[in-house]
A and B are shown apart, each in its own frame.
Chain A
């Protein structure tokens, strides 16, 4: 894997060239809401090289979901699919798009979250602009009683921005619908989920759909399942009888990604009651998330925030009220640590504000409200390394309270801040893996996972190697093809690939090991109970001198016993951590630089120290981007994203990396799985914002509650504070 990636040999879906392949492009709506009065494709059809064009007039009834067909005579957002062209080359398909004439009748639309909430706003859905016409509400204890008991009540409102996944490999696939078999080379986070949803949407048996993917050029939540482009590519392949390649361009990726697209914009109000000593008595939380135009399941991502309000701190009386708000945009989707990231950006700044109010160290206030048992389930944790994260993280950082605005050098101010990391890992679904031991003593792991960049194939090889006690390089992992792998994971989301697939691999390897011990017992002429595998050698327990080598045993097994299918199950776990950062704010320009960061993460047992560090560093930087500059900027007049490119939408570059980033693994012994690992992909992103915002406050003595904390917001805040 590693070799492929550094030599340029790695084949991603974007690189796939199939014999006879045609190229497709999609014509998208320039309007945020419109009726299509007419489409004329006659000029485009005459362009040499054009093979087929689909519009609502000729595309038949192929549905996208229950609500809508793939091609319709109306559009609800800028970027909605209007027509698709397939041609001999991508450039010709692009030329043809320019020749399609569409007559629209523009209708009223609403883009801004606050505007959509006004009573006179255009209604995006017949029932109004609150998804399903009601909020989702969670309540425990007695919120009024909690506030009555409170001696101090603090209330603040925070907003978070629309972060985009902005993965480097653009979204798309190559679809080949030949005879009754559909094969798709897809840039996906999970071949099995993509396959199942393609079968469902196209009304095909699952056995007739195959999804292949060797490597994925980034996903971060945006490449789970299928999008409209998958269905369009399949339709065009069926239409032409040829393989069809359909990849979005960069601005399409930013604007629609073929919905869902991005992390939602949120407005969160946190009102909390405390005793004088800082003990929580009540939290009342209200969140509004900007959603999209369609009444679809993805709207839930707009009202997903709040889990950390309910689960992170001990508080008997909690209410969370969440509204997903329709606007004429694409729906939000899962983006690295969905829900918790938005929540923690707000909650961890709120806790810092409360600590200032109580004149307490922020860690002390958090420890005061530490949850000994899970606040939702009232059950003990499988493991909880939060206290250790605070302790080891603050020691490594050299944490010592400093007065806001006290560290100055000319126009520059320095500040420190910390924040808690919280995420829940594995969902308890069954996972399957296959471990095959070959007579030559090598091992093959068969796992239905995708390589999205977290090093999962390497980690699974390590787990099998450890269980079977063979050298790592004797293990090969086969993955990335729905036709050749069991259902290990439907898709890599929720920081659960290691904690879900790992146990299944370990159980399959243990099963194989048990069968090898049987063979070894025959070789050694002892009972199987008397044999153990140690350092790659089968040893007789009663007579340790009687041994058989690994290869000696595998060489005896022939071809009959070589496949082992085992089903393992995971459980829900909680992942904790603490981030400590130091920032420098230039009061002349408003620019913020993160100088150093200490990132302590309790993820159970880190299977691979190197990839673990990569995940924590990378996740933190993605959170740093969201805290300081990342934001989809949508023009409310037109519904057009004005920064739909990497120049306008700024991702962290090499120059934004703090001079010092220290990753501290907090090794807890998590008993929820047989590998003791909890997952680490998402939590580092969630923990970045609060710590950085708190450090900015500590540097300049002014709070900025509206992310991203851009230079202009810093300057405005300084000016307002005088």
Chain B
């Protein structure tokens, strides 16, 4: 029996060391579970990016708490030149204002923004509402319900900002993702949803407005929020690459060059086209300024809607 216990202990040790083993390769943290929308783009981004850098990379999914767990892991690796994060908009520009996190917008070395898709305000095609004006009017008697992919996500913020800045009467019902929210919209449990072109194209939806500073190609008859007489609201679903603070300028430059080359590569372009991801490259300085601006704007929305802690 004793030997059995020893072998048990030995095997248990192997298990834990396996998990704790840190590789020398470049680690790309994706703060979502494998197979999600962000993960797919990250995994298509990775081969060309690694090739450009001349390293072997491993994509590691660290999911949980609205993508902040994985993001925190990048922020906490200060000075480590072998870890980067492929980050969604929410983890960088919304979550730090929502709750106490071990990081803020200043905790990273910004590398690049890769893709960005503007969001649309949408209703079901089966509804008879065809304009934002009509939506506002019909909401006066009985407030509408708008869905989101969770509290503090971009679909939530975009609608919260719209409600604060217009006469629209609508209340929030969060779901566990865009899919369940679409199910609810199809069953008329909710009436409004804000999301990207991918969602708009795949379901029977009607766009009423776009959260961007100009009309979007292919949707020329969809007005921007500003044209509807509201303050300009800019909401887009974007992704980008960040590294921890404290890495050398040389390393940061390497990353930035590799990222630019990857985003401009035919392979990534073909993929982005298929996945309806809109390539929107921003270099290190522009990306940093962009995140800072979005962070401030989102914070304002959260404060107006009474969502900050």
Q: Do A and B bind each other?
A: no
Residues of chain B having any CB pair with chain A under 8 Å? none
